[in-house]
Amino acid sequence: MRSENNRISLMNYIVSLSTVGLAMKSIPVVLMLNACSSTGQQAEKIPPPNIVVILVDDAGYTDFGFMGCRDLKTPNIDKLANNGVVFSDAHVSATVSGPSRAGLMTGRYQQRFGFECNPSHNNFTGLDLNEETLAEALKNAGYNTAAFGKWHLGDAPEYRPNARGFDYFWGFLAGGRSYFSNHKNDVEGDIHSILENDQFQTFEGYLTDRLGDQAVDYIEANKEKPFFIYWAPNAVHTPMEATQEDMEIFEGHPRQKLAAMTWALDRAVGNIISKLETEKLLENTLIFFLSDNGGAYNNLSSNLPLKGYKGNKFEGGHRVAFFMHWPRELKEPKTFDGLTSSLDIFATSIAVSGGKRSLEIPMDGVNLLPFLNGCNEEEPHENLYWRKDKMAAHRNGDFKIIKVENLGYRMYNLKENLQETKDLSSSELEVFEKLSKELEHWETGLMEPLWTEGHIWDTITWMIHQDYFLNREVRVENPQKLKKWSANANNER
C-alpha cells in the first residue's frame, strides 16, 4: 500500500512504494475538460468507458502484493493497482457476502431495504425488486451488461441476474460451491450449479479459470459497444481447492492452498486484462477491484494489522484492498487516503457512463472522480455505517464506535490505534456522545432485517465481539466449536 510519504509499515507486510500525483487531461463523457474551472470551454465528446467490477470473495486485507504481501503471488493484480488509484481507507458496506453485494449493486445501504444479514435460503427472497441495480442503470445508458461467478442476491427467477439488468450471466446463484465439477451440486435445479443465463451448464477444469475464459469470450463478442462486466469469482472462499499443478508451484508453503487459489485468481485476472489490451480497450476501461468483505477465519487469509475478520464489526471485517484503474483518466499512480466505500462504485460508474438513475431515491455512495482530480478537496464520506442484526458500527473521521446488544459500546481512534485495542468510550465522552447519537439517528431510517442468520450464528457472532471487546482470544468461530465449547461449559458446572 502506498502513501504520499512514500513509506508505510503494516506489521512487516507493507513495503515502500513510490507515489506520484494524479494527472488528468479530460473529465469523462461530455463534461468540461477542466471541471474545476468556469472558462466556458466547449464540452468535448469522448466515448464512455467500459466498466469492469472485479469482486473477489473473502480475500485478506494484506493478501495482495500491492498491499505488501510477500508470500502470495499476484503480479497481474499488482500491475493494475500500481498503475491506478489505491484507496488506503476503503470499506465495504457489510462484513458478509450477500449484504455487501446488495450494497455495491444498488449504491445504497442494504439495511434500507432489509437485506442486512447473509441469506440462509430458507427464508430468503432476494434483492428488493423496487431497488435499481447498477446493471439496470448502465443498460439504460446503452451498455451491454454481463455477470460472471457468484450471485448471492436471490434464487427465484425474478431475482436472478437476467431479471436484474444483466444481458448475460454465467455463474451460480448460491453463496459458495466447489471449484471443480461434482455430482453433488452440478445437477439441474441446484442453486450451486452453473447457469448460462437460465440454462444449466456443466464445465471442465478449474472454475476460476473458466470464469476468466467466459469473460474473455464476452469481451470478444461485445467489443464494439460499451460493456459492463461484473466479474465475481468465488475465489478465495472455501472450500479450499486448487489444481494439482498450482499446488505444486507452492509445495511446502505454509498457506499452500490459499497461495495456489490466489495464483489462479491472478491468472484469470491477467487473461481478462490481456484480452482488453489485445483489443486496445484497456485505455478506456474503468476497472474496480475489491473484496466483498474482510478475509475469513477459515481460509488462512491475513487481515493484519487489522483486528477481526469476516462477519464482525472490527476493521478486519469491512476494510478491504480496493483500487481503480482507468488509463485514459487516471494517468499516474496515486494513493488516496480519503474515506471511501464500495457504495461509491455505483455513483462513479453512472457518472462516467453519461447515464442516470431512474429512481428518485437517495444514494449513499458518491462519484469518486471529483475527489481524485482535485475538484473536491473534502473526503468522499464524513460518516460510514454498518449494521448486522444485533451489531452496529459508525465511523466519523478518525473515530469509530461499535455497538453490540447486551455488551454496550467500544470506541477507538483509528489514526492512533488501528488495531482497535484501546477503548475511548469513557475518556472521550463528547466524541462518544456525538457518534452514538449519529448512529442512533441513522438507524431510524432503516428497515428491520427481513431475515437473520439464525440463533447459532447470532450466538457465535456475539461471542466473537465479546472476546474482541475484552481483547482476548476468540473462543468459537463456527457451529462445531460452539457445540464443543457449550459441552465443556456444561461439564464445568
pLDDT along the chain (493 residues), means of 10: 36 29 32 37 70 98 97 98 98 98 98 93 85 98 98 96 98 96 91 97 97 98 97 98 98 98 98 98 98 97 97 98 97 94 98 91 95 92 96 98 97 98 97 98 95 91 96 94 84 64
Residue 5 phi/psi, 5-degree rounding, is -85, 5
Q: Are 60 and 302 in contact (CB under 8 A)?
A: yes
Q: Sign of the C-alpha dihedral, residues 36, 40, 41, 44? A: positive
DSSP state of 409: E
Q: Which residues contact 216 (CB under 8 A, 6 or more apart)?
A: 271, 272, 275
pLDDT value of residue 359: 85
DSSP state of 449: P
Task: Enumerate the H helices of 174-222 as residue ranges.
Answer: 207-222
**Residue 393 in grid coordinates:** 458500527
pLDDT value of residue 5: 36
**∠ at Cα 353 (352, 358), nearest 5°?**
115
**Residue 426 in grid coordinates:** 469513557
pLDDT value of residue 37: 37
Q: Is 6 helix (H, G, I), strand (E, B) or coil?
A: coil
> Which residue matches cell numbers 478486519?
316
Q: Is 267 helix (H, G, I), strand (E, B) or coil?
A: helix
DSSP state of 230: E
At the second CATH level, the architecture of 50-372 is 3-Layer(aba) Sandwich (3.40)
Residue 457 amino acid letter:
W
pLDDT value of residue 124: 79
Q: What is the pTM of this model?
A: 0.91
DSSP state of 38: -
Residue 187 phi/psi, 5-degree rounding, is -130, 150
Q: Are 391 and 457 in contact (CB under 8 A)?
A: no
pLDDT value of residue 121: 66
- Please choose, from the candidates 405, 411, 394, 384, the residue with its C-alpha nearest in 3D space to the C-alpha of residue 466: 405
pLDDT value of residue 410: 98
Compute the residue count for the chain. 493
Domain positions in the chain are: 50-372, 383-492
Q: Is 427 helix (H, G, I), strand (E, B) or coil?
A: coil
**Residue 216 in grid coordinates:** 474473455
CATH code for residues 383-492? 3.30.1120.10
Residue 284 phi/psi, 5-degree rounding, is -120, 45
DSSP state of 113: G
Can 50-372 and 383-492 be said to share one CATH topology?
no
Q: Are 106 and 363 in contact (CB under 8 A)?
A: no
